[in-house]
Structure 1
């Protein structure tokens, strides 16, 4: 499940990162150039771990990113109200300004970070379910029994 979560969220992050260059206010988020670069970097790393990484590597990536994005979401939701310096963005109930004018997170960003963090943590804490292939000896014995009938 960790690899699937990494791959899906990776593709989502890349999509949002690219959309943010065209529509900086997409879904009410503050998608500045800096924020888009972070989204693209996170998306590429997550997709890498989801597609090429081992199960354990994807699981650890999910733990780290889930904790990071979950914490960022909580901190953003307890931040005071404010007006972002980003062009064209109105006041928001919660504004976490990391780099004023470039990396600012409003309420919509914080809610998105919480959802992404929870999804990453779900991927990290989910169990690995593997369908075991039957061993060759078992298959041969089964085939012999069937052919004797």
Structure 2
């Protein structure tokens, strides 16, 4: 005669081990982009944002953006989180002061334009060609102790 419960314990342990293995396989570490701390530089925020694009991690991209910018991307045909295959050879340059008004009509404590250069590869060429690209991001923050967030992108 088997001890009470022993016949149940072994299949239960096997089931739990299998569930752990399946859930570990479903957590692709490439799709998890770390959000920089609130005191991160504009360049660090841009680097994390590009990392999020490469990982197709739109949740991280949204966390690094103002709601205005994130909402704009949602409706774009060439949304970078869906259309970009890869951004490589990223070079993030020094921020340039950009006043305190932004495309969303709000006034911010500070705004900067962060120029970048990279090589772009997309699923579909829509608004910009593949290859070497000169681009940039406008970052804003509501106060001196607030985090920088992307509020626009483009050239110049």
Query: TM above 0.5, one fold?
Result: no
- Greater relative CO (CA pairs within 8 A, separation 6+): 1
More helix by share: 1
Using structure 1 for the length normalisation, give the TM-score: 0.28
